[in-house]
Copies of this chain bind each other. A is one copy, B any other.
Amino acid sequence: MVSPSLEARRFFLDNVELVVLMDYETVVRRRRMVRNFQTEEMPEGDLRKILDLAQHYPSAGFSQGVAFVAVRDAATRRKLSRDRDMFPRGWPNYVIRAPILIIVCVSEAIYHRRYREPDKLRPDGTEIEWPTPYWFFDAGAASMILLHSAVSLGYAAVFFGFPKSEIEGVKKTLGIPDEFHPVGAVSMGKPAPDKKSPSLKRGRRPYAEVVHFERW
């Protein structure tokens, strides 16, 4: 079994040059919410690759309603974490320690505009009814890529949502336009030792309860 470090992605085996990349299954199984980080900066190229890949989420009508605010600036991360007027609860320390904070936003309005275009209207000329708010679904898909991309490049990440009381403060601090809703944020960087979430003690739901074959 060959186990090169992630940093050494190119190596030689019997004079054959090999490039080591993490396979999909390993990325999925290795990912977990990590809540402590080294403060070491992330190279620009890695951050750009993560943000580039995150744009490859699927979206209803190719509406692409998700947007990202990537915050490297430590002062901004500190303001978000420590402004007790806007964020009385305080944000977790990892927002300050991790070099990268990415706010995931989505605009419901983009989807409505898209589904009022001629190719998406119903025969009677009206917009479809939305039984599912696919804008939040799409934001989840994009966030999944953010988290997985970080792992695939040797980083760790954590997603956290915003309580209702913080939405306006986040928008104001980062200049997020009215029509975009910040659904949550991802902190990422090199992992440091952390405690696993107590929620994990609940255990994974049994396969038989979650996966049904042919019918429920």
Chain A residues in contact with chain B, CB under 8 A?
Answer: 13-16, 21-25, 27-29, 31, 33, 49, 51-53, 55-58, 60-62, 64, 66-73, 76, 119, 128-134, 136-141, 143-145, 147-149, 151-152, 159, 161-164, 167, 173-177, 180-181, 183-184, 197-200, 202, 204-205, 207, 209-216
Contact = CB atoms under 8 A, between A and B. Distances in A.
A24 B164 CA distance: 34
A16 B11 CA distance: 14
Closest 3 pairs (CB-CB, A-B):
A140-B140, A21-B23, A137-B140
A129 B163 contact: yes
Contacts of A73: 214
Nearest to A160: B60
Given A136-B136, A213-B72, A28 B56 contact: yes
B200 A152 contact: no
Contacts of A144: 57-58, 140-141, 144-145
Contact of A216 (B56, B175, B212, B214): B175
9 contacts: A13-B16, A14-B16, A21-B25, A22-B24, A23-B152, A57-B144, A70-B214, A72-B213, A134-B136
B167 A70 contact: no
A210 B119 contact: no
A5 to B, nearest CB: 17
A142 B128 CA distance: 25
Contacts of A164: 128-131
A207 B53 CA distance: 11
Nearest to A62: B199
B16 A204 contact: no
Contacts of A31: 56
Nearest to A129: B164
A214 B24 contact: no
B132 A161 contact: yes
Given A67-B211, A210-B66, A132 B136 contact: yes
